[in-house]
Amino acid sequence: MRLRISERLKDSQNTAAMLTTFQEVDMHNLIQMRNKHKDEFFAKHGVKLGFMSPFIKASAAALEEIPAVNAVIEDKDIVYRNYVDISVAVASPRGLVVPVIRNASKLGFAETEQTLGDLAGKARDNSLALEDMAGGTFTISNGGVFGSMMGTPILNLPQSAILGMHATKMRPMVVDGEIKARPVMYLALTYDHRLIDGREAVTFLCSIRDKIEDPSRMLLDL
C-alpha cells in the first residue's frame, strides 16, 4: 500500500498545476455550539459531535456554490458533477486511506458523524472495501489531530481540490476593535490551477470560513 500511495502522490505532482491558498478561521462560535449541545447530541444520536461534521457540511455547501471546485478534467473535457462525495483522509495501520462520504450535501450533522465513525472503524480494522474509497469529488485532510499548524496538502487525483485542516490554537485576534485571545485554525486549500482560478479558490475557502465562524449560516443555507 505504501508503494501505491507514493505512486499516486507523485502522479499528482507531475500532472496537476497545484497551488495552495490559506485562510484563518475563528473557531470560537463553533466550539461554543459544540460545548452547549454535545451531551444532548450524543444522548439522541449515539455518536459524539466532533468538528469534522461541520467542516464536511460547510465544504459540501461551498462545493455547490462554486461548481468548478467540484469538477474534474477528463481528457480534454471539464466534467461538472451534480453530486458531492467527500473523501476524508484517515490514518490506518496500513497507511493513509481516503474513504468517501456519499451525497455529503444531503446529510445532517448526525448522519455525517455516524458515517464517518463507521468508515473510520473499517479503516482501523483493515476492512475497507474498494467501493468505500472510490469516486470522491473532494478531499478533506485533518493534520490538526497530529498537531500540525499549517501544511500544503497534495491533490487526490482526479479530484481538483483538497482542504487541509490544522490544529486549533489560542492566538491574538482583533474582535470588535479589541485584541482578544481566540481559538484559531489555519485552513489550506490546494487546487488544480488548470481548472480552478484563484478567484474561485479564495471565494470557496472564504465560504467555508464564514460558515464555520457562524454555524447558523449552515442552518439558514447561507
**Whether 197 is catalytic:** yes
Catalytic residue among 132, 193, 210, 214: 193
Mean pLDDT of 146-164: 91
pLDDT at 6: 74
Mean pLDDT of 152-177: 93
Contact (Cβ atoms closer than 8 angstroms) between residue 95 and residue 127: no
pLDDT tens-digit map of 101-147 = 999 999 999 999 999 999 988 888 888 888 888 889 999 999 888 88
pLDDT tens-digit map of 24-47 = 999 999 999 999 999 999 999 999
pLDDT top residue among 221 and 203: 203
pTM: 0.91
Catalytic residue among 197, 210, 214, 221: 197
**Whether 193 is catalytic:** yes
For residue 2, what pLDDT band results from cuts at 50, 70 and 90? low
